[in-house]
Chain A
Amino acid sequence: MTQALAPAVPPGQIALVDLLDRLLGTGVVLAGDVTISLAGVDLVRLELRALLSSVRAAQEGG
Chain B
Amino acid sequence: MSEPACYLYGISRHVGAADLDGIRGLGGEPVRPVESDSGLVGIVNTVDLDDFGEEALERSLQDLTWLAETAQTHHAVLCDVAARAPVAPLRLATVCLGESSVRARLDRSAADLHSSLDLISGRAEWSVKVFAEPPAPVEDLAGAASSAAPAGSGREYLARRQAQVSSRHQAAERAATVANDVYAEVSRHSSDTRRLAPQDARLTGETVPMTLNAACLVGAEDTPAFCAAVESLRGRYEQSRIEYAGPWPAYSFVSVGEP
Binding site for B on A (CB under 8 A): 1-6, 9, 11-36, 38, 40-41, 43-44, 46-50
Contact = CB atoms under 8 A, between A and B. Distances in A.
Given A38-B61, A44-B203, A26 B252 contact: yes
A59 B37 CA distance: 58
Contacts of A21: 196, 199, 213
B61 A20 contact: no
15 contacts: A6-B204, A12-B247, A14-B75, A16-B68, A19-B71, A19-B72, A20-B92, A21-B199, A22-B251, A22-B252, A26-B254, A27-B254, A33-B101, A34-B49, A49-B64
B202 A47 contact: yes
B96 A27 contact: no
A33 B95 contact: yes
Contact of A34 (B54, B72, B113, B205): B54
B97 interface: yes
Contact of B204 (A17, A31, A33): A17
Given A26-B252, A43-B200, 9 more contacts: A5-B205, A19-B72, A22-B89, A22-B251, A27-B251, A32-B8, A34-B57, A38-B91, A38-B93
B255 to A, nearest CB: 7
Interface in B116-130: 116, 127
A30 B89 CA distance: 11
Contacts of B246: 11-12
Q: Chain B binding site: helix, strand, loop or mixed by DSSP?
A: mixed
A60 B258 CA distance: 48
A38 B92 contact: yes
Contacts of A44: 200, 202-203
Contact of B91 (A28, A47, A49): A28
A11 to B, nearest CB: 7
A15 B79 CA distance: 14
Contacts of B65: 50
A56 to B, nearest CB: 14
Contact of A3 (B8, B54, B74, B205): B205
Contact of A28 (B57, B96, B197, B254): B254
Contact of B196 (A9, A25, A28): A25
Nearest to B112: A28
A34 to B, nearest CB: 4
A38 B67 CA distance: 11
A21 B21 CA distance: 29
Interface string B43-74: 00000010011100110011011011001101
B199 A36 contact: no
Given A22-B252, A26-B252, A28-B11, A16 B116 contact: no
B94 interface: yes
A28 B58 contact: no
B258 A29 contact: yes
Nearest to B92: A23
